[in-house]
Amino acid sequence: MRKKLLVLISILMIGLLAFTACETKTAPEGGDAPAGDLPLIGVTIYKYDDNFMSFVRRNIEKNAEGKANLIMNDSQNDQAKQNDQVDTMISKGVTALAINLVDPQAASAIIAKAQAADLPVIFFNKEPSAADLNSYEKAWYVGTTSAESGVMEGQIVVDAWKAHPEWDKNGDGIIQYVLLKGEPGHPDAEARTTFVIQTVNEAGIQTEELELQTGMWDSAKAKDLMDNWYAKHGDAIEFVIANNDAMALGAIASLKANGFFGADGKFMPVVGVDAIPDALAAIKNGELVGSVLNDAANQGLATFELALNAALGNDPLAGTKWTFDANKSVRVPYVGITLENIQIAEDSYAE
C-alpha cells in the first residue's frame, strides 16, 4: 500500500515538473547525431497567454528543430517565478539563455545569474535598459525600435482621417480619441503612446484625449475599458487607438455589442499594432483601419540564431543576416499595414 502511494506521488511530481518546464526534445536533422548532442538552450516567455508572444514562441521552436534542445518556460507574468526558472535551467546545464522578461526592469537580476554561471543571455521583446545590457559582455537584445511602431500607427491614423472627413463627428477638426495602453513601463507601450499622438499632431491634426488607460496588452481588459468609455462618452469618441491588436480587437468586440460594424452601418475607426492573423481578418472585413507588423517570425528567428551561436561559443551574429546597433541590439523593422499591403503581414504570419 505504502509502495503504491509512493509510486503515485512520484508520478504526480514528474507530471508537475513536466507541467512547469516543458523540455522540447527535437529530433536531429538527418538523424545521425543523437538529440542529446544538440546544445541545450533555456527559454522563458513572460506569459504564454499573450497573443503576440505565442507567435514569437512558435517561431523560436520551429527554428530550433534539429538544431537545439529547448527548455521552454511559461513565466506566467510572475518575475519571481521567472527567476526560479532561470536557476532551474542553469542547474540543468543550459549553455545559453533566451529571456523574455516579465518586468523589463528585472534584467539585472537575470544578468547576475547568467554571469555567475558564465552563460550568454539573449533578451527579447522586453527591452532591458542600456545600462543593464552594457553591464555584462555576454548580454544582447533582439527586438524592435519601439518608437517606429508609434510613428507608423500615427501615419495610418493621419491618412485615414484625411480620407474620411465624416469621421469628425462633431465637425471641430479635432480627433477626440481614446487610447488603450500596453503595460506601463514597457518600452513598446511608452513609445507607441507618445509617438502615435505626436505623429498625428505633427501632421497638423489636433487631438483631444478623452481616455487613456492601460489594458495590459489584453483583449478582455480592453473590452471592459471600451464598455465603460462608450457608456460614458458615447459618440463623442471619434477614434480608438490601441498599443496592440489584442486590445484593438477587444475594443472592436465591445463596439460590436454597442451596435457598431453591423447592418445599419455604424462605424468607429480602430487601429492597432502587431498585425497578428486575427487583426488581418478584421482589416479585411472593415473593422480595423490598420495595424503595424510586429515581425514575430524574424524576431523569433533572430532570437534563436543568436542564442544558438552563443550556446556554441560563437560570435552571436556569426553566419546570420543580423547586425547590432550601438546598443548590442538587433532591431527588426516594423511595417505599417492597411488593406493595400496586407499581403506583407499575411506572408510574415504564414506558418
Contact positions toward Ca ion, by CB under 5 A?
Answer: 168, 170, 172, 174
CB nearer to Ca ion: give 49 or 172: 172
Q: Which does 273 bind (CB under 5 to 8 A by kind): Ca ion, ligand BGC, none?
A: ligand BGC
CB nearer to Ca ion: give 90 or 210: 210
Q: Which does 47 bind (CB under 5 to 8 A by kind): Ca ion, ligand BGC, none?
A: none
Query: How many angstroms separate the Cα of 97 from the Cα of each of 70, 124, 308?
Result: 10, 11, 9
Count the neighbouring beta carbons within 10 Å of the beta carbon of residue 234: 9
Q: How does DSSP assign 11-41, residue by residue?
A: HHHHHHHHHHEEEE--PPGGG-S-GGGS-EE
CB nearer to ligand BGC: give 40 or 251: 251
Q: Which does 52 bind (CB under 5 to 8 A by kind): ligand BGC, Ca ion, none?
A: ligand BGC
Q: Is 319 left (phi over 0), alpha (psi -120 to 50) or beta?
A: left
Binding to ligand BGC by CB under 6 A, coded x per residue (else -) over 64-103, reads: ----------------------------------------
Quote the least distance from Cβ 277 to ligand BGC, whole Å. 13
Judged by CB under 6 A, the stretch of 27-35, 45-53, 89-97, 255-263 that binds ligand BGC is 45-53
Q: Which does 168 bind (CB under 5 to 8 A by kind): Ca ion, ligand BGC, none?
A: Ca ion
Binding to ligand BGC by CB under 6 A, coded x per residue (else -) over 117-156, reads: --------xx------------------------------
CA–CA distance, 153 with 177 (Å, rounded to integer): 14
Count the neighbouring beta carbons within 10 Å of the beta carbon of residue 232: 12
Quote the least distance from Cβ 192 to ligand BGC, whole Å. 8
Binding to ligand BGC by CB under 6 A, coded x per residue (else -) over 169-208, reads: -----------------x-x--------------------
Please, which residues bridge with residue 299 across strands? Answer: none
CB nearer to ligand BGC: give 148 or 238: 148
Query: How many angstroms separate the Cα of 118 from the Cα of each of 84, 131, 316, 322?
Result: 17, 19, 15, 24
Supply φ then ψ for residue 196, to 5 degrees.
Answer: -65, -45
Quote the least distance from Cβ 245 to ligand BGC, whole Å. 7
CA–CA distance, 130 with 123 (Å, rounded to integer): 12
CA–CA distance, 57 with 62 (Å, rounded to integer): 9
> Which one, of 271, 277, 272, lies nearest residue 51 by Cα?
277
Cell numbers for 72: 521552454
CA–CA distance, 292 with 195 (Å, rounded to integer): 13
Q: Which does 172 bind (CB under 5 to 8 A by kind): Ca ion, ligand BGC, none?
A: Ca ion
Q: Which does 53 bind (CB under 5 to 8 A by kind): Ca ion, ligand BGC, none?
A: ligand BGC
CB nearer to ligand BGC: give 69 or 123: 123
Helix (H), strand (E) at residue 214: strand 206-214
Asked whether position 50 contacts ligand BGC by CB under 6 A, the answer is yes
CB nearer to Ca ion: give 70 or 158: 158
Cell numbers for 115: 554571469
Give the footprint of ligand BGC on this chain (CB under 6 A).
50, 52-53, 125-126, 186, 188, 217, 244, 246, 273-274, 294
